[in-house]
A and B are shown apart, each in its own frame.
Chain A
Amino acid sequence: MNDLDRVIHEPARLLIVALLAGVKEADFLWVQRESALTKGNLSSHLTKLEESGYVEIEKTYRGKIPLTMLRLTRDGRAAFDAYKRNMNGLLRKAAAR
C-alpha cells in the first residue's frame, strides 16, 4: 500500500489524471464535464497536481474567450503508469490470498 502515489490515489485526482492520460491536451471545460466536479473543486485538485509536477496548466485565449488548457507532464504520465502497475499488483496479491 505504501507504494501507491498519494497524490494520484485520491479519487478525484485519479479521475483527472486518467482523463488527461488519454489525450494530448484538453481544456478545463472538458475535464470539468467529464469528471462532474465543480469548478472550485477541480481547480484545487489541479493546483495540487500542478504543484506535484504532474499537470501543466496553460492560460490562453481563443479569440476573446479565456481558455485554460491542461496536459499531463512526462512525470505525470510515468506516475500514472506506475500507479496502475502498483494497483494491479496489489489486486493480484489480494485475489491470490
Chain B
Amino acid sequence: MDNIDLAAIGRRPQQYWNADGIPELLMGILWMVWGAAWLIGDRIPRGSVYTAFWLVTPAFLALSGSFVVWGTRALKARITFPRAGYVAWREPSPAARFGVAAIAIVTAALLAAVAVKARKSGATSQLVTPLLSAILSLAFVVAAVRQHAPHYLGLAGVAIASGIALGTWRGGWESVNWLFLLIGVASALVGATRLALFLRTHPRAEAA
C-alpha cells in the first residue's frame, strides 16, 4: 500500500475491459460468421436457395455488428459485473475523437489509393488480403498498446501471418473470407481461454 504507482493504477480500467475475454470471443464469432457466410454463399449452386441465401445473409451480416455490441454488454452484465464490479469509462476528449477520425480517414484514403493503383495493374484481388491483414494487424497492435492488452499482439501475429500465407496462395477475393475465418477462430479461442481463466479466478461476489 505504501508504494502506489499512479500510472499503473490509471491503466487498470482499460485492462478491466479485456479481463474476461468476452469482447475477443464475440468478435471472433462475428468474424467466423462473416467469413463462413461468404464462403458458403459462393458454393451454393445458382437457383432458389442461392437467391434466398443472398437475400437474407447481407441483412443478417449488417445486423451482426449491433448484435455483438448488445451481446457483449449483456454478457458483461451477467458474467463480469457480479464478479469484478462495474466500471463506466470516461468519455474521450474531442481531441482524441478527432485523432481517431483522422487515422480512419488516412487509412481509408491509403486503402483506396492502393486499390486504384492495383486495379490498373490488374492485381487488386491478389493484393487485397495481405493489405487487409496488415491493417487488421496494425489495429491489433494499437489495441494492445492503448488497452495494455499484450494478448492482442498474438492476434496481430495471426492476422499478418494469415495475410502473407493467403497472399502466397493467390486465392483472390475468396482469400479475404478465409482471412476473416482464420482471425475469427484465433480470436474466439483467445476469448474462450481468457473467459475460462476469468471465471476460475473471479468467483461471484456478494452485492455491495
Contact = CB atoms under 8 A, between A and B. Distances in A.
Interface of A: 11-12, 14-15, 18-19, 21-34, 39, 62, 65-69, 84
B90 A22 contact: yes
B73 interface: no
Contacts of B9: 15, 18-19, 22, 34
Given A15-B1, A22-B14, A84-B6, 12 more contacts: A18-B10, A19-B13, A22-B13, A23-B13, A23-B89, A24-B90, A27-B81, A29-B207, A30-B87, A33-B205, A62-B81, A66-B208
Nearest to A19: B9
Given A66-B208, A67-B208, A68-B208, A26 B86 contact: yes
A67 B88 CA distance: 14
B12 A19 contact: yes
14 contacts: A15-B4, A15-B9, A19-B12, A25-B88, A26-B13, A27-B87, A29-B84, A29-B208, A34-B9, A34-B85, A62-B77, A65-B207, A67-B207, A68-B208
Contacts of A84: 6
Interface in B74-96: 77, 81-82, 84-91
A61 to B, nearest CB: 9
B1 to A, nearest CB: 5
Contact of B88 (A12, A19, A26, A28): A26
A19 B10 CA distance: 7
A24 B88 CA distance: 5
B101 to A, nearest CB: 21
Interface in B92-151: none
Nearest to A30: B85
